[in-house]
Amino acid sequence: MTGEEIKSTLKTYNLQSWSKQKNINPISIKKAEGIYLWDYEDNRYTDMSSQLVNLNVGFGNKEINNAIKEQVDQFCFVAPSYGAESRAKLAKKIIELMPDTMGKVFFTNAGAESNENAVKIARLFTGKSKVFSRYRSYHGSSFGAGNLTGEPRRYTLEPGIPGFVKFFDPYVYREVIDFPSEEDATKYYLGKLREQIQYEGPDSVAAIVLETITGSNGVIIPPKGYLPGVRALCDEYNILMICDEVMTGWGRTGKMFAFEHFDVKPDIVTFAKGVTCGYVPLGGVVVSKKIAEYFDDNLLSCGLTYSGHPLACAAGIATVNYYEDSNILSHVNEVGKVLGAKLEEMKTKHACVGDVRYIGLFSAVELVKDKKTKEALVPYGKDTEGIMGKILGKLKERKFMTYTHENMIIVAPPLIITEEQLVEELMKLDEVLSIVDKEFI
């Protein structure tokens, strides 16, 4: 097929997610390697979002490709109740990377399934029903994960499932209170969370679910002491702490898992995306030893046909080995310093940039109409004029491929990007921000 034939066929027969179908205009990809993609006209595009913040090792990783081929030659699939070497080895490897309090892994196929099963496990283990999660959060769009989600993508699932309770993120940049320090902000947010737990009834709350660092909703990094404070609240009220590491896990922030930055040990960790980088879909739920032991004598009422799919687990082993053998964490921290410095320069330079937030190779540029008032460039959930789409189009013209959410531009390139490649691409972002200064504020 030609590129145009692929596009036409997709538009005719395929429903594309999060889109009004008449407006879609997919780029037909002929080949991809490293951080780059080429269309059928040989135009080269740079992947500056790791696709959906999952393609951490870029395209065409030979180690992962070869591992998949070897598993294909052995067998592609056996049911979860059978023993598969790749399944066993990956489960062991993941537990070895976790805190010493963690016990076992339940494999899923993606992040939404991971979060759905984490909630189910928390309710089974605690015998309690309510689950707290935050407004500026995305945990998936299936029915359970969609109710866990706090941002507008949950609206189509409402009225939702009873027992899902929302609370506010520690979004210091947009808070009406001007806090003297991060510690003061933490004290305020933890006080409000404690109050809400008390009003909901601590004896009814099974878990508090948090993206360790809020992802697409703005790369919101918790202030000092916040996550240890949540951990303390969970301990005080006998509530499970669940960290959603679907987007932040597997090296994205400069640690293997983002919770490692904050000196906390969750009860449950969910993961997906970077464990295989999308070469084969895979997710999972890691539970503490205490929870794992509970299910020795109590039924784990969770099941998926493709739990621990052998091909996916083979890809997962190769991916994690690649992170370790290539010293990816060290590289992310080194190149991440360059990313942070460049974003700070843009914040100073451009009237449209209200804030930049970054950790490792995970960042967001928050766009505003006015730096003093912090008025967002587009109202929350209501970009009726398609302004962010127009900005994304300007980036696309320069072959800088990423996505936007609300008034944020996400910059989260593959973890293999070099400093030279990063600087080259950020020049394009700088150009587009100059256009935003002139045309949109």
DSSP letters spanning 327-349: THHHHHHHHHHHHHHHHHHHHHH
Residue 345 pLDDT level (bands cut at 50, 70, 90)? very high
Mean pLDDT calculated for residue range 349-361: 98
Please write the tens of the pLDDT for every residue from 207-217.
999 999 999 99
- CA distances 137 to 67, 211, 220, 225, 362, Å, are 34, 7, 10, 20, 16
Do 213 and 219 touch, CB atoms closer than 8 A?
Answer: yes
Note whether 3-60+327-439 and 63-325 share their fold. Answer: no
Q: What is the pTM assigned to this prediction?
A: 0.97
Q: How many CA atoms lie within 13 A of 77 on its CB side?
A: 5
Q: Is CATH 3.40.640.10 correct for 63-325?
A: yes
Query: What are the domain boundaries of the chain?
Result: 3-60+327-439, 63-325
**Element counts in the chain: helices (H) and strands (E):** 13, 16
Share of the chain above pLDDT 70, in %: 100
The total number of residues shown for the chain amounts to 441
Please write the tens of the pLDDT for every residue from 127-142.
999 999 999 999 999 9
CATH topology of domain 3-60+327-439: Aspartate Aminotransferase, domain 1 (3.90.1150)
Return the sign of the alpha-carbon dihedral for residues 299, 303, 309, 313: negative
Decide: residue 436, CB within 10 A, 0-12 exposed, 13-18 middle, 19+ buried: buried
Do 199 and 192 touch, CB atoms closer than 8 A?
Answer: no
pLDDT of the residue at 384:
87
